[in-house]
Amino acid sequence: MTCLTTPTSSRRGAILLPLLVPGIAQALIALDYAIMFVALPELSRALRLSPAMTPWIVSLYGLTFAGLLLTGGWLSDRFGARCSFRLAMGLFLLASVCGALAQESAMLLLARAGQGAAAAVMQPAVLALLRQRFQGDAYNRALAVWSATGAAGLVAGVFLGGVLTHIEWRLIFWVNLPPGLLTLWLVQRHFAAVPAPRQPQSLSLGALLGSAAVAGVVWSLTRLAETGAADYLANRLSAALVLAFILHETFARRPLLHPALRALTTLRIGCIASACYMASVGSQFYVMTLLWQRYYQLDVLTTGMLFLPLALLIVVGNLLFARLAKGRDARRLLLWGFIGAAFGLGLLAYAALQPFSASFIAAIVASGIGHGIIYPAMFQLGLRDVPQEYQGAAGALMVTSQYTAGALALALLSLLLGNGAGAESWSKALWLLTGAAALGAAIVAAYETERR
């Protein structure tokens, strides 16, 4: 690889500049998901959104993102990661402009759906670009940087949401343009147009059914979170779509998930780890945001500042992963990450109402570092044995597992932390996250034992 053979000065540029592409893309995906939580009240007032319409400004992004990930993975494998990334980033920026210029709710909803769809194509393309550009220890370092920028984007979404909304709510869309345009220039210069090695094929029925099934499940869980009750239509439609997808994958001659992928134990563990991650430390920001703002009645800027230590600790965990990954199996690091996260979240469940106590600080440290280790470790393990031609589909499958579990966690947390939630409810919510982290540790440990 060029990045390993050039002189020191150019070598650093050859490594750092390509890293900006996946890093900025991941930060934008995370930022645009989080920023709306803060900006929603002002945006709702400005466009005179009805109470029933307002939650969909956030939900529609997650729905289209989760629902189209499998199709996004197919596009990456079919047309190449660089081509898919350029298409997705272009659509993302166009949708951002539409959101900034929106004068009514319909245009804003269309813009949010466009952002979610673009993110769904972008995410598997980014994972494929990382695997294509970096190898060995360089790949582990790239994963660490990529996951660190995602954590930074999540916190920036909470913090910038308050600052930009205070100035002008349309800035939350305009802010995407400079970094997005930079990635389009960088991907053209630093990533080769590698042709897809698979034989050309049309968009399969499996991709359409898979996308529809995931969208249906996320929709039904979103409705549960919004109303507190099961939605008859959403539940039955999602169940029918899931059944149709399972039958297709079982009997079709050309299933969406190639048999070679299904046979990979590491990919299966990676998908389970992704789900447990999102249901544990991946949902910690959501719970902590509600805790600071609802229970402690803190403003948006203060909440954003309080998240900075957690974000920095996640970055520490990312860097620790990059250092420990040399000569160590990703399974072992993933296990350590889940154990640390479970310990930290359990301690936080005990100390959540004792902010800045020694127990609370220890909980934030353990959960933050555990978070930072889990995220790159699960992708390193899950995608390790996947051939290059299936990186897009495998990455999409892992992220689909992640966000479907996130929708389930969000629904359960919304029921627990509804209006008037007492002290006991916050503890229960954090114990729920602890259980998900402990489950992840148990599954990875069982796999470790089985290998021996």
Query: Are 228 and 300 within one domain?
Result: no
Query: Are 381 and 452 within one domain?
Result: yes
Is the model's pLDDT at 8 over the cut of 60? no
Angle at Cα 322 formed by Cα 341 and Cα 10, nearest 5°? Answer: 150
Nearest to 288 by CA among 409, 437, 430, 403: 430
Query: Are 114 and 42 within one domain?
Result: yes
Q: What is the domain range of residue 410?
A: 260-452
Lowest-pLDDT range of 168-172, 353-357, 407-411: 407-411
Q: What is the mean pLDDT of residues 261-272?
A: 90
Instruction: Report the C-alpha gap between 154 and 428 in whole angstroms.
Output: 24
pTM: 0.81
More confident residue, 125 or 34: 125
pLDDT value at position 431? 96
Q: What is the mean pLDDT of residues 233-242?
A: 89
Q: What is the mean pLDDT of residues 409-422?
A: 77
Instruction: Report the C-alpha gap between 247 and 194 in whole angstroms.
Output: 34
Report if residue 168 sits inside a domain.
yes
H helix intervals, 191-231: 205-227
Query: Are 405 and 311 within one domain?
Result: yes
Residue ending a domain, among 166, 191, 216, is 191
Q: What are phi and psi of 391, to 5 degrees?
A: -60, -40
H helix intervals, 299-357: 300-324, 330-351
Report if residue 335 sits inside a domain.
yes
The SS3 call for residue 417 is: coil
Query: Are 274 and 415 within one domain?
Result: yes
336 pLDDT band (50/70/90 cuts)?
Answer: very high
Is the model's pLDDT at 111 over the cut of 70? yes
Amino acid at 252: A
Q: What is the mean pLDDT of residues 164-171?
A: 84
pLDDT value at position 311? 83
Q: At what angle do helices 177-190 and 81-101 cross, to 10 degrees?
A: 170
Tokens, residue 110? 């269309």
Tokens, residue 273? 């780890």
Is the model's pLDDT at 37 over the cut of 80? no
Report if residue 85 sits inside a domain.
yes
Report if residue 199 sits inside a domain.
no
Query: Are 160 and 46 within one domain?
Result: yes
What are the tens digits of pLDDT across the range 353-389?
Answer: 888 899 999 999 999 999 999 999 999 999 888 887 7
What are the tens digits of pLDDT across the range 283-317?
Answer: 898 888 888 878 888 876 777 778 888 888 998 99
Domains: count for the chain: 3
Is the model's pLDDT at 15 over the cut of 70? no
pLDDT value at position 12? 52
Q: What is the mean pLDDT of residues 131-138?
A: 82
pLDDT value at position 421? 65
Q: Would you say 82 and 392 are in contact if contact means Cβ atoms under 8 Å apart?
A: no
pLDDT value at position 86? 94
CA distances from 71 to 21, 204, 216, 450 (A): 21, 9, 15, 33
Ramachandran bin of 423, using left for φ above 0, alpha for ψ from -120 to 50, beta for the remaining angles: alpha
Report if residue 125 sits inside a domain.
yes
CA distances from 12 to 18, 91, 376 (A): 10, 31, 22
Report if residue 33 sits inside a domain.
yes
Q: Would you say 35 and 157 are in contact if contact means Cβ atoms under 8 Å apart?
A: yes
Q: Would you say 72 and 125 are in contact if contact means Cβ atoms under 8 Å apart?
A: yes
Tell me the percentage of the chain whose pLDDT exceeds 70. 90
Lowest-pLDDT range of 24-33, 150-159, 306-315, 404-413: 150-159
9 pLDDT band (50/70/90 cuts)?
Answer: very low
pLDDT value at position 248? 85
Instruction: Report the C-alpha gap between 145 and 369 in whole angstroms.
Output: 14
Tokens, residue 265? 């134990």
Report if residue 118 sits inside a domain.
yes
pLDDT value at position 3? 40
Q: What is the mean pLDDT of residues 192-202?
A: 57
Q: At what angle do helices 423-451 and 330-351 cross, to 10 degrees?
A: 160
Query: Are 277 and 368 within one domain?
Result: yes
More confident residue, 221 or 374: 374
Q: Would you say 443 and 268 are in contact if contact means Cβ atoms under 8 Å apart?
A: no
Instruction: Report the C-alpha gap between 422 and 355 in whole angstroms.
Output: 16
pLDDT value at position 449? 60
Query: Are 431 and 290 within one domain?
Result: yes
Angle at Cα 402 formed by Cα 233 and Cα 39, nearest 5°? Answer: 75
**The domain that contains 46 carries what CATH number?**
1.20.1250.20
Query: Are 341 and 221 within one domain?
Result: no
Q: What is the mean pLDDT of residues 86-113?
A: 93
Q: Would you say 15 and 3 are in contact if contact means Cβ atoms under 8 Å apart?
A: yes
Query: Are 408 and 280 within one domain?
Result: yes
The rounded mean pLDDT for the chain is 83
Query: Are 406 and 300 within one domain?
Result: yes
Tokens, residue 184? 């389009």
Query: Are 98 and 133 within one domain?
Result: yes
DSSP3 helix / strand / coil % (the chain, rounded to 5): 85, 0, 15
Report if residue 6 sits inside a domain.
no
Contacts of 12 (CB under 8 A, 6+ apart): none
pLDDT value at position 146? 82
